[in-house]
């Protein structure tokens, strides 16, 4: 049992003004495994003020030389790496992420992201002299945007946190991070790592909390920018607030991505199973960019249905802390109820259930749902259009490549997608026509060096790559 009575504000652990606590449960056992304080509005004010002071100080973090900031960020990465094993265990038990995924991704990538931006700012020239149209010169300056509020979901809590604080800190911003109530025990270790690395007081503040705390943070007058990863509904609410305040906002929201399986695709699971599994069922389906809509050519439709069905039925479902588990439990009872509601809706709308649809009989405790596949799904149906966020995949037939692209784009979302083919040139041509911020060929592997963006109802702004750093910088021109 982990009972932590403090929040991380101003570079130290402090007690909140609230006497309430947030209990954290294991997705595997449904039992309480820890608790943290439930902060109140005064704590939000204190955290923002600490970040504001750290940013406004004339000798503070924004004024450090890039090399000095980079050194601290590398130390932060080293400190996180030392704790990566325990971070992985805590994340896995809290949200059901298979421990192999937590070890390889959520606990390891934050250090990689920090080191990437530490290296990047060494070559980032803060000022550029340009010849002006009037015959003189203009000094174009890049400056940190200010105090950044980062709102983080529970599905990949550390990767998604790092994708916010790493470029923000590299740019010279200070931050207030709000983890989700479902995954806060790992955030304690992140704060400890920040302390060990010597981040100056107030540069990184971590304040767990629910919707009310997030709303106060987003609208706080001391905040200069908001970055949120969450549902489209939450993104619209945050976007409305930031629009009214004329405040920059970066939103990564929901997705309902398509997997376009072309008629020449390899369907031998021995060859492509290792790529299909994370693309379709990664993190128990609790991943926004998953290709949860499979589009199959009519000429090979039955073969595709058989392949995806066999894949789903082959996956090992079990305790997320077991090394053999490929699909763990969902994060909460509420999330399981939501997913089961969509499964019932799929049946009601006439889709053909070919795999799963229930709970694994051998799992008596925990919020489990069997990997589920629906065939003969109309692309306009609820389960094909709405984000389910669980291990549920739909299969819809198409006639030709043009029809496949049309179906893929017939969605309010535009976050991810995949194209499966043995002809790379053909696959690339199809990918170019998909209305999505990212697309993978024969798999989906986000790249630290390349921008990850979203369009339509999937969000605004960009993450990763040099473009991810620019999101936390403003531009100033001095006409000489």
Three-state SS string over the chain comes to: CEECCCEEECCEEECCCCCCEEEEECCCCCCEEEEEECCCHHHHHHHHHHHHHHHHCCCCHHHCCHHHHHHHHHHHHHHHHHCHHHHHHHHHHHHCCCHHHHHHHHCCHHHHHHHHHHHHHHCCCCEEEEECCCCCEEEEEEEECCEEEEECCCCCHHHHHHHHHHHHHHHCCEEEEECCCCCCHHHHHHHHHHHHHCCCCCCEEECCCCHHHHHHHHHCCCCCEEEEECCHHHHHHHHHHHHHHCCCEEEECCCCCEEEECCCCCCCHHHHHHHHHHHHHHHHHCCCCCCCEEEEEHHHHHHHHHHHHHHHHHCCECCCCCCCCCECCCCCHHHHHHHHHHHHHHHHCCCEEEECCCCCCCCCCCCCCCCEEEECCCCCCHHHHCCCCCCEEEEEEECCHHHHHHHHHCCCEECCCEEECCCHHHHHHHHHCCCCCCCEECCCCCCCCCCEECEECCEECEECHHHHHHCCEEEEEEEC
Write down the catalytic residue from 173, 182, 252, 340.
252
Write down the catalytic residue from 173, 182, 242, 288.
288
Count of other CB atoms within 10 angstroms of residue 380 = 11
| Residue 252 bears catalytic tag | yes
Contact 155, 320 (CB under 8 A): no
| Residue 242 bears catalytic tag | no
Contact 467, 454 (CB under 8 A): no
Query: Token digits for 357?
Result: 């649809």
Catalogue the active-site residues. 252, 288
């Amino acid at each position: 049992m982990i009972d932590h009575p403090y929040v991380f504000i101003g570079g130290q652990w402090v007690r909140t003004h609230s006497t309430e606590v947030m209990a954290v449960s294991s997705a595997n056992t449904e039992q309480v495994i820890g608790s943290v304080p439930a902060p109140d509005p005064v704590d939000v004010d204190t955290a923002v003020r600490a970040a504001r002071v750290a940013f406004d100080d004339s000798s503070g973090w924004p004024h450090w030389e890039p090399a000095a900031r980079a050194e601290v960020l590398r130390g932060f990465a080293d400190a996180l790496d030392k704790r990566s094993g325990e971070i992985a265990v805590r994340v896995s038990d809290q949200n059901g992420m298979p421990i192999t995924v937590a070890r390889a991704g959520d606990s390891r990538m934050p250090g990689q992201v920090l080191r990437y931006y530490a290296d990047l700012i060494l070559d980032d020239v803060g000022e550029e002299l340009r010849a002006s149209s009037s015959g003189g010169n203009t000094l174009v300056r890049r400056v940190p945007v200010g105090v950044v509020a980062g709102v983080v979901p529970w599905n990949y809590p550390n990767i998604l946190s790092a994708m916010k604080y790493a470029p923000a800190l590299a740019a010279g911003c200070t931050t207030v991070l709000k983890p989700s109530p479902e995954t806060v025990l790992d955030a304690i270790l992140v704060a400890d790592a920040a302390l060990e690395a010597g981040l100056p007081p107030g540069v990184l503040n971590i304040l767990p909390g629910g919707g009310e705390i997030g709303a106060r943070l987003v609208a706080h007058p001391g905040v200069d920018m908001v970055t949120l990863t969450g549902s489209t509904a939450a993104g619209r609410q945050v976007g409305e607030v930031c629009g009214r305040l004329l405040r920059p906002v970066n939103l990564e929201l929901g997705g309902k991505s398509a997997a376009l399986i072309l008629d020449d695709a390899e369907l031998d699971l021995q060859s492509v199973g290792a790529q299909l599994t994370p693309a379709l069922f990664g993190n128990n389906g609790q991943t926004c960019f998953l290709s949860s809509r499979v589009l199959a050519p009519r000429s090979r439709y039955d073969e595709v249905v058989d392949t995806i069905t066999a894949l789903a039925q082959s996956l090992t479902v079990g305790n997320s802390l077991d090394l053999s588990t490929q699909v763990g439990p969902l994060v909460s009872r509420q999330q399981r109820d939501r997913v089961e509601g969509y499964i019932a809706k799929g049946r009601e709308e006439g889709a053909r259930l070919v795999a799963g649809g229930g709970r694994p009989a051998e799992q008596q405790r925990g919020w489990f749902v069997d990997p589920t596949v629906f065939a003969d799904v109309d692309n306009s149906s609820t389960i094909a259009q709405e984000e389910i966020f669980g291990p549920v995949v739909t299969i819809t037939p198409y006639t030709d490549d043009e029809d496949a692209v049309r179906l893929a784009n017939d969605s309010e979302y535009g976050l991810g997608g995949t194209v499966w083919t043995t002809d790379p040139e053909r696959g690339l041509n199809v990918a170019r026509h998909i209305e999505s911020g990212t697309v993978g060929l024969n798999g989906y592997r986000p790249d630290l060096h390349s921008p990850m963006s979203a369009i339509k109802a999937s969000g605004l702004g960009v993450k990763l790559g040099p473009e991810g750093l620019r999101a936390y910088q403003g531009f100033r021109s001095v006409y000489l």
